[in-house]
Amino acid sequence: MADFDIEAVLETCERRLEAGESIDLGGEGFWKAVGRVKRDPSLADRYADRIGEIDRRAFETWVFRSFPITFGETFLWLGTLAGLAIVAVAYYVDEPWNALLLIAGTLGMLVTTHGLGHLIVGRLVGIRFTRWFIAGLSRPQPGVKTDYATYLRVSPRKRAWMHASGALVTKAMPFLMLGAAWGMEAPSWAWIVLIGIGVLQIITDITMSTKQSDWMKFKREMAIARALEGVG
């Protein structure tokens, strides 16, 4: 896609959003233009702010519910602390309650630490986040919205590891909790459940996430990084 094509795509998106029209960014060629911008750092500097603004305004038209990022982040931290507290209580109760509390706390932290992983690593590499959101009733899991201008301005490798961070944290959590299982002398079936949760997550990542979620984005950004390094 040539530079003038990128300009035309962005102008079309801006005009339609300004008119309050419903817009399919993919159908307008927006993501194709973004892909071209990602592969040329000079274009990222030139178009990042406009792309970020289009992405933000389009997001506001389709998202089911969104909240300030501080609200969502507070919720995630409190949820994680609650999960840790449940695991801590498990040390002081007998079987089978210690195992049940250990598993419940672990499952809770799987939900909350995913988003925190993205937030922490993203901020460390220079990516900002703007909203905490729920995409829709058919897809009720929460997410964090990136400031796409800052996303484009960091290197592809940094973007890749931001995408991978949430998945890596949640994959590690069940195996980390094996230490807690050992410390509280949890029954053997609790160990089996924790290992099963970890293995199941790995399987679903291999079969699903590499095609449509975090690992797909990781692979995409790493491919861009390798292409740029090859050019350099």
Q: What is the tens place of the pLDDT at every residue in 90-122?
A: 999 999 999 999 999 999 999 999 999 999 999
Q: Residue 98 has what pLDDT?
A: 97
Phi, psi of 147 (to 5 degrees): -80, 105
d(CA 60, CA 145): 11
Q: Residue 207 has what pLDDT?
A: 86
Residue 142 has pLDDT above 90, yes or no: no
CB 58 within 8 A of CB 75: no
Task: Express each pLDDT in 168-217 by its tens digit.
Answer: 999 999 999 999 999 999 999 999 999 999 999 999 888 877 777 889 99
3-state SS, residue 1 = coil
pTM of the model: 0.89
User: For residues 59 and 1, which has the higher predicted lDDT (pLDDT)?
Assistant: 59
CB 31 within 8 A of CB 25: yes
